[in-house]
Structure 1
Amino acid sequence: MNRNWVLMFFNAVFFLTAHAVYSQNSPAPIKLVDVILSPDHSDWKYLTSEKPLVKVTVLQYGVPLKNVKVEYATGPEMMNADGKGSLLLKDGSGTIQMETSKQPGFRYLKVKTTHNNNSYENQVKLAFSPEAIEATTTLPADFNQFWKQSMDALRDVPLDPQVEHLPAYSTSTVDVFLVSIQTTGKGQRMYGYLCKPKKAGKYPVIFSPPGAGVKPFAPATSLAEQGFISFTTEIHGLSPMLDASVYRSISTAFGDYWLHNLNDRDAYYYKRVYLGCVRAIDYLCSLPEFDGKNVAVTGGSQGGALSIVTAALHPKVNCLVAFYPALCDITGYLHNRAGGWPHMLNQVSAPVVNRPDNLKTLQYFDVVNFARQIKVPGFYSWGYNDNTCPPTSVYAAINTIKAPKTIRITPVSAHWRFEETNRESINWIKEQLKLVEPGSK
């Protein structure tokens, strides 16, 4: 047999085998059966006196399934169900009448069905006068004094930046560096990726603190490609370039870091983290390429929380973007409603955490009390279906902010955001920093 034909034969076999393996192991990009929930208010928002009506549709291949039975449960957000029922959808659709909420907040509807011995489910969480949600956490009288003294103690700690160029991550227009800076004292360091435009000039800076967890991450050059100097960090004093297996072992032993030294406000884990974010801004503003005036901070989840904290503490921050911020109104659970991530006071954790010394410390770190200090414009976005950072807790924080607010609610979102909203937030930052004309794209 001709050698070329042999090679073609084996290449074809390899392709078909690889394709078969890929097909067997890859999850389907869509569900076989969809449970569609459609509230009768398009914005999913109601007054506390209103009873929502939710249309339920079960689809297979985009076509309603006939004579399908659904079971449902309703209740206050993140709390036990206070209503249950079932419904036969003869033509594949029907309606469920939900109860109202007597207090500003959220109620959920969870719907489940079984088809061919497989279960399918969906949820919606509906808002009731959410702009009237009030925070449960209180502001300590010495809150500002505590944080001023904490930041004053940093003055004698040199940043001592250690910078390593990373050619493998750099592009034709952006230089990428692994950077570590000293935060609160000798040996206390924060690592991150610095991305700078290669073209000589002066640039605005943008700080991106991380979401929760102990995990590696790769640099992202998109902001630098748009004319920012960006600094994306971790918070645990670990290089993001460590092997993933090392991170897994550390995370196993170190997972609940938000509980470390919770009984002592001066030793609590997040104190070093919050001050490290302040130091990140100090570092960015020390760069010779910094334009001297434009400073932004953006993040989501824990990063959204740290964005609010950083903007509240550092006077050079001009604007912030916070997506579904964590650590908001943590004490909500003590008032029979949802509290913020990491849910330290829910039914599982409350017996361990609900102690006077712990609760006192939390007052100095709850993002609600930093939101009360915000003086610069902010872009805030979250979804109603989020069970990680429940919207009740987010509203509790954002409702306290007196500075200008741009709010983008995408009610269907859970703990994620749409790319359209992401792009809007970057354009908003550019407008705030007067880098583009308002409304331009």
Structure 2
Amino acid sequence: MIRPAMMRQKITLIVHCAILFLGSLHFLQAQLHITTDLPEGIYEVGETVIWNVELEPGTQVDSVTYKLKEGGLSVTSEGLLDFENNKASVQYTFTKPGAILLDLRWKSKDQWHKTVGGAIADPEKIALAVEKPTDFDTFWAGKIEQLRSVPKQPQVQRILLEEEKEIEYYHIKMKNIDRSHIRGQLAKPLKVEKLPALLIVQWAGVYPLQPEWVIDKAKKGWLVLNINPHDLPIDREQDFYEMKSNGPLKNYPAINNENRDKSYFLRMYLSCYRAAQYLTERPDWDGETLVVMGASQGGLQALVTAGLHPKVTASMALVPAGFDTMGPAVGRKDGWPHWYTNTENKNEQKVHETSRYFDVANFVPDITCPVLVGIGLLDETCPPEGIYAGINQLSNRKEIVLLPRSAHQARNGSQDAYHERVDTHWLPHLRNRTFLQD
């Protein structure tokens, strides 16, 4: 299922212009308007996408350059836009299933600006860059057995929150492989014997966990566990996390990325499996509902968990990372953490081979539960083409919410359609066990 529904009408997308300054993006009040004939951005092979570009009155620019990038990577054409009365257009005809990114850049008042447009053709026909390794399932079965040989030994500490009278809140710590630990927070409503379980997994970065991330869901009737992707305390001061981020965890995706048995993501993926298993063994679990959700790196973990753990009953992933690790080999950009190019001072071939054991797409065929995925059509961090290639491996119930105005981060409501589906449909129905009746 794809949302929003395909509508043949015009729409104006107002995109705030961004300054490329000191490696970061800053948004201006000045605006650039992009008008397209298909607001949802979905086309068929053989059709032509037309972007109409209009400068805001009073915007002074030297020139506007454009690049068209198939798969967000391979440049098929580039040049200068020819404006007449502040208007110009760019066209592209699809010759195969896939995504196209329009990259616009210009200089104004000695500052560089950038914005992008996107479109995709026959997304349900996009194929994997490479097949999964023949020993993929054997490898992960072995790692789960290794994990099972390590006792969980959960340490659960009640934390009293004076302002929360109807919620129990805990810090939790469990053992993981290689003498590491899983650390997180758990919340549940008081005086309820059996509850549906919700595992929340986190986006990239190094930071503390916030109690409201579990308390809000517990107030809605969930047994909620939220885990840190790293083996770190969850409630230190910000300086602690900045020190870790700038020190031992700087570019953590590259840690041991030449070795599938030592990759940083091995511990992370197994943390998710163990967290899910822990929830199913609690006496206050209802024995039926186990949902896992996250965004970006959290979306990666949500789908991996569903692929590894058979008791997961639904998985929800917004702009999921980790797809299409070998995408650049076929001319399209891979998703964060960009294994393909994260090879400085490394053996590229070994990194590429290792990446295949952690590519989310290779876990997808083992998912047996319903899946909700939000995909940003303008996302350059986790590009849409690779995500579609992976999600197309799903044979069970799935809903794809294509977000035509969304880059990786939400801006101006660009990801509201996904959150509406999560908050008003998926979570309430899953909690009430009415989901499959809908």
Number of the residue aligned with 1:201: 193
Corresponding position: 1:166 with 2:131: no
Give 2:426's aligned amino acid: W
For residues 106 and 308 of structure 1, the distance between their equivalents in structure 2, rounded to whole angstroms, comes to: 22
Q: Among residues 244, 260, 284, which one is paired with 2:279 in the alignment?
A: 284
Number of the residue aligned with 2:44: 47
- Spell out structure 1 runs of 4+ moving beyond 6 A: 66-69, 437-440
SS of 2:148's partner is coil
Q: Among residues 375, 378, 383, which one is paired with 1:385 in the alignment?
A: 378
- 1:304 Cα deviation (Å)? 0.5
Unaligned runs of 5+ in 1: 1-28
SS of 1:330's partner is coil
Residues 170 and 209 (structure 1 numbering): CA distance in 2 closer, same or farther, change over 3 Å? farther
Number of the residue aligned with 1:414: 407
Residues 287 and 361 (structure 1 numbering): CA distance in 2 closer, same or farther, change over 3 Å? same
Contact 1:257 1:269 in 2 (8 A): yes
Corresponding position: 1:234 with 2:232: no
- 1:252 Cα deviation (Å)? 1.1
Contact 1:208 1:232 in 2 (8 A): yes
Once the two structures are superposed, what CA deviation does each residue of 1:304-358 show, in whole Å capped at 9, x if it has no partner?
A: 0111110011111111101111110111112221111112224xx4565563332
Structure ID, larger Rg: 1
Corresponding position: 1:260 with 2:258: no
SS of 2:177's partner is coil
- 1:173 Cα deviation (Å)? 2.2
- 1:224 Cα deviation (Å)? 0.8
Q: Among residues 214, 219, 225, which one is paired with 1:225 in the alignment?
A: 219
SS of 1:153's partner is helix
Contact 1:48 1:104 in 2 (8 A): yes
- 1:69 Cα deviation (Å)? 6.7
Residues 351 and 334 (structure 1 numbering): CA distance in 2 closer, same or farther, change over 3 Å? farther
Q: How does 1:22-421 map to 2 (within 5 A)?
A: 31-59=28-56, 64-65=57-58, 71-76=64-69, 77-79=71-73, 81=75, 82-90=77-85, 92=86, 94-112=87-105, 120-168=113-161, 171-184=164-177, 187-219=179-211, 220=213, 221-253=215-247, 254-346=249-341, 349=342, 352=345, 355-417=348-410, 418-421=415-418
Contact 1:51 1:97 in 2 (8 A): no
Unaligned runs of 5+ in 2: 1-25
SS of 2:334's partner is coil
Once the two structures are superposed, what CA deviation does each residue of 1:250-298 show, in whole Å capped at 9, x if it has no partner?
A: 1112222212222222222211111111110122122222111110000
Give 1:79's aligned amino acid: L
Contact 1:74 1:107 in 2 (8 A): no
Residues 234 and 212 (structure 1 numbering): CA distance in 2 closer, same or farther, change over 3 Å? same
SS of 2:147's partner is coil
Residues 145 and 296 (structure 1 numbering): CA distance in 2 closer, same or farther, change over 3 Å? same
Higher strand share: 2
For residues 437 and 112 of structure 2, the distance between their equivalents in structure 1, rounded to whole angstroms, comes to: 45
Contact 2:221 2:431 in 1 (8 A): no
Contact 1:66 1:89 in 2 (8 A): no
For residues 395 and 344 of structure 2, the distance between their equivalents in structure 1, rounded to whole angstroms, comes to: 35
Contact 1:69 1:87 in 2 (8 A): no
- 1:242 Cα deviation (Å)? 1.6
Residues 87 and 68 (structure 1 numbering): CA distance in 2 closer, same or farther, change over 3 Å? farther
Q: Flag the structure with more relative contact order, 1 or 2, with Cα contacts below 8 A and sequence separation at least 6.
A: 2
- 1:216 Cα deviation (Å)? 1.7
Residues 67 and 209 (structure 1 numbering): CA distance in 2 closer, same or farther, change over 3 Å? closer
- 1:209 Cα deviation (Å)? 1.0
Give 1:385's aligned amino acid: L
Length-normalised TM-score, structure 2: 0.85
